[in-house]
Amino acid sequence: MTIKNSRRNFLQKITVSALALPLLPSYTPENLYTEPYQGSALRVAIMGLGSYGTRVAEAMQSSKMAKLTGVISGTPSKIKEWQGKYKIAEKNCYNYENFDQIKNNPDIDAVYIITPNALHHPQTLRVAKAGKHVICEKPMAINAQQGKEMVDACKKANVHLLVGYRMHFEPKTLEIIRMRKEGELGKVLFFQGLSGFTIGDPSQWRLNKQLSGGGAMMDIGIYSINGARYMLGEEPIWVTAQETKTDRAKFKEGVDETIQFQLGFPSGAMASCLSTYTMNNLDRFFLNGYKGFAELQPATGYGPILGRTHKGELTQPHITHQTLQMDEMAAIILQGKKPVVPVDGAEGVKDLSIIDAIYQAVKTGKKIDLKV
């Protein structure tokens, strides 16, 4: 089974031009999908027409504030297929050699980069230079230094750099964050994040360090890193980590199979997390406080997300994550909306800094101090 099918099946199984427009009304998820939207839409080109790019494109058909208007791909047959399916004009279709020409295309406001991790950095620099906003899949790059360069390039070009943190808009996730902020859980001292699945085809790019930048940590483990930060509402100050590798033929040097890691926070809270490519049924967040608890399982799959707290089951409605993400990101770019949890490039750099430190902790066996 290919990675595209493997990862998609895993997630399915566990879950059954843009200028600020201050005069536009600010829409919430509740009313955006029940009331007509008359404002401007963010015109988006998707770069990378694989399985996740397809998922985003399908979800965007229900978006109110974001519209698919262009494609960028190295595969001509995919471009033709998408042209017909999504009614994309020929002049809005590009390949990896000529996509710098989007600079002169008023039909494209932003490019959503959904390509292998190692390509995010150079592609973001080119999109920014072309004067278009960037939405980049996570991890934003393969290390924090690249991430900082991407942030600087977009700042210099005066364009937004957003990262595909779809869980930052998910209603049940946001309800737990609200409860923690308002003290309903009491002082919170522990977070557990379990992120993993059994990966398939050993020849895929996710198991190629040159393209992926690592292994499970760069793909699925980042969910627990990011989750620990937004669930606890703090930035970690130290990390320890241990790697387990049972198949060195499949998981070569620099490609992690399983890593357990621990994060310490200024309040005294701790996070205990697992990232793996060799175990299924792992998609759980647990937050424990003096007054109560919160649990999501599944916590990061494509949905519906399921959750409960000491007060009972979470019942917030499920909205297709990518639909909600694209509308919320359009509101950030077009209206200057401030999300509850940031999704900007600085947020992506923080996760990459922690990943860098985790790999350092694995290599040295030492506790690594963090300045996120």
What pLDDT, in 10s, does the model give residues 124-161?
Answer: 999 999 999 999 999 999 999 999 999 999 999 999 99
Residue 27, pLDDT score: 57
Residue 23, pLDDT score: 39
Question: What pLDDT digit, counting tens, does each position of 324-339 carry?
Answer: 999 999 999 999 999 9
**One of 165, 223, 230, 302 is an active-site residue; which one?**
223
Question: What pLDDT digit, counting tens, does each position of 88-100 carry?
Answer: 999 999 999 999 9
Closest by Cα among 262, 257, 272 to 214 = 257
| Calpha distance 265→234 (Å, rounded) | 7
Does the annotation count 112 as an active-site position? no
First to last CA, the chain: 38
Closest by Cα among 143, 253, 149, 173 to 209 = 253
**One of 138, 172, 209, 350 is an active-site residue; which one?**
138
Q: For the chain, where do the domains classified as CATH 3.40.50.720 start and end? A: 17-166
| Calpha distance 62→51 (Å, rounded) | 18
Does the annotation count 138 as an active-site position? yes
- For residues 269 and 232, the answer to whether their CB atoms sit within 8 Å is yes
CATH of domain 17-166: 3.40.50.720
| Calpha distance 189→39 (Å, rounded) | 43
Residue 193, pLDDT score: 98
Name the CATH superfamily, with its identifier, for domain 167-317+345-369.
Dihydrodipicolinate Reductase; domain 2 (3.30.360.10)
Q: For the chain, where do the domains classified as CATH 3.30.360.10 start and end? A: 167-317+345-369
Question: What pLDDT digit, counting tens, does each position of 41-77 carry?
Answer: 999 999 999 999 999 999 999 999 999 999 999 999 9
Q: What is the overall mean pLDDT for the chain?
A: 93
